Structure 1
Amino acid sequence: MADFIKSFRNLLKGKDVVFTLIIINVMVFLVCALLRVIGLLFEIPYPDLSVYFEVSSNIGIVIRHIWTLITYMFLHYDVLHILFNMLMLYWFGIIFRSYFTPKHMVAVYILGGIAAALFYILTFNTIPYFIKLGSSSMIGASGAVTAIIFAAAFYNKNLQVGLLFFGRIKIIYIALFIFVLDFIALGGGNNTGGHVAHIGGALFGYLFATQYLKGRDITKWFNMVIDKVVNLFKPSPRMRVTYRKEKTDEEYNQQRHNTEEQIDAILDKIKQSGYSSLSSDEKKKLFDASNK
């Protein structure tokens, strides 16, 4: 646990948090893929652990596996799935990073992902069309990435980026185009839950940016909690305690008298033999006495 907290702390303090998030996603994907391939090649029964990491639209399952609100956003189905999400995270994460701190990046990614999951659960349990689809599950970083995209877009609506075949275009138009595509896709398809999650992430990113422009940081509480958790595992600095015995008036006067006698003896030596006859220790004592 301590190692995890240390890694998370390094993530928050990291200068290139975009690459750190990408590396975490890629490493999780590679480990899962490796276990799956080994199980297939050697015909080793590979238990389906996805239920413990993917987020479900079933409220009962989510309550029992509450951690899936976070773990799902670091898992991906296949190479194309993670490739597309990581490219989007890189492109828009670089823009986000130019406006905000690494802590903001991590907070918006995680809280945006949680918001996407909660919106997905809410939608599949309240909207008649989605209720008919029955219970489903979801993995992927797209909801969290969409939060990053919308946070960057609505923080600086006039920022222009270059797109192949389209030239320079405002980032706000790209974000709105993504939102429209997700909304249209709600009417059917194989990834309906994913599109719902994208909208949830987009709403969080929009809320973060608009509130930040008003001087309110809605991720502040999250970073405060993380800092407190990190400090629990941070070793306390060792305090060095020293004791100094106070001198009595008699001891002080005696020491002062001895010092004066030593200085008088040094001065007499200078009169008789000159300053050059003094030893280095005598010169130091004379210098210290002259500075008091």
Structure 2
Amino acid sequence: MFRLTPVVRNLILINVVVFLFQNIMPGVAQWLSLFNINTPYFRPYQLFTYMFCHGGFFHIFFNMLMLSFFGPILEDFWGQKRFIMFYTIAGIGAGIFNILMDLFFQIGSFSVMLGASGAVYAVLTAFGILFPNMRLGLFLLPITFKAKYMVMVLGSLAIINGFRGSPGDSTAHLAHLGGIVVAIIFLQFWRERGHY
């Protein structure tokens, strides 16, 4: 049965409120989004605030949909404090990962970045690693697959799209990859300390 846990519900609420403010006051997105570190508009706080802004209805809709499906299971498994710590650090880490790839390897370049996708990819990755054999279904299709395959497919797409890039593609694929990388590091760190 579909059920929102407290942290996931609050994250969705914050994202929706910020999205509404973005549409009422367009300057909000410019203040909260993550600007490239090489521009005069970059501010360190943007590494946190960018993950609450979105570029359009479908951007926020699919991010919040995925969060609402997989987030509650992780929140129940870890508890509220650990889940919000994971989500927040993963979102910040995804932004830092994209910045570092741009700075040192000149890939994943961006002028401005926004969205919860990096943190959501981390949630999906953690879910697939912790519950690898749980079967998932596709919308309205009689097809199921194991969660670990979801992680493999999403990771492969993030790598391919991130390193290939394409003209006119404004999606921060390397932030998606960053969320995956941060999730793997986080889970390994917790595993070594016996936290799950």
- Same-fold call, TM cutoff 0.5: yes
| Shift, 1:185, TM fit | 1.2
Q: Which has the higher contact order (CA 8 A, sep 6+)?
A: 2
- State the superposition RMSD in angstroms: 2.3
Among 1, 7, 18, the alignment partner of 1:28 is: 18
1:109-148 aligned within 5 A = 109-130=87-108, 136-148=111-123
1 CA distance for matches of 2:107 and 2:145? Answer: 36
| Correspondences of 1:258-273 after superposition (within 5 Å) | none
CA contact (8 A) 1:52 1:65 kept: no
Matches of 2:152 and 2:169, distance apart in 1? 19
Which has more radius of gyration? 1
Runs of at least 4 residues off by over 6 Å: none
Structure 2: tracts of 5 or more residues without a match: none
Pair 1:101-2:79 in alignment: yes
Which digits, 9 at most, give the CA deviation of each residue in 1:138-184, with x for residues without a partner?
00000011111111211222222233435331111101111111112
Equivalent runs, 1:60-209 vs 2, <5 Å:
61=40, 65-130=43-108, 136-164=111-139, 165=141, 167-186=143-162, 187-189=164-166, 190-191=168-169, 194-209=172-187
CA shift, 1:18, in A, is 1.1
Cα-to-partner distance string for 1:198-237 (whole Å, 9 max, x where unaligned): 01111111122233233355xxxxxxxxxxxxxxxxxxxx
What one-letter code is carried by the residue in structure 2 that aligns with 1:55?
A: L
Matched with 2:35 is 56
Task: Tell me the percent identity.
Answer: 31
- Residues 214 and 160 of structure 1: CA distance in aligned 2, closer, same or farther (over 3 Å): farther
In structure 2, what is the Cα distance between the partners aligned to 1:93 and 1:129?
30
Number of aligned residue pairs: give it.
189
Amino acid at match of 1:58: I
Per-residue CA shift, 1:30-51, capped at 9, x if unaligned?
Answer: 1221234xxxxxxxxxxx4544
Taking structure 2 as the reference length, the TM-score comes to 0.85
**TM-score, with length taken from structure 1:** 0.59
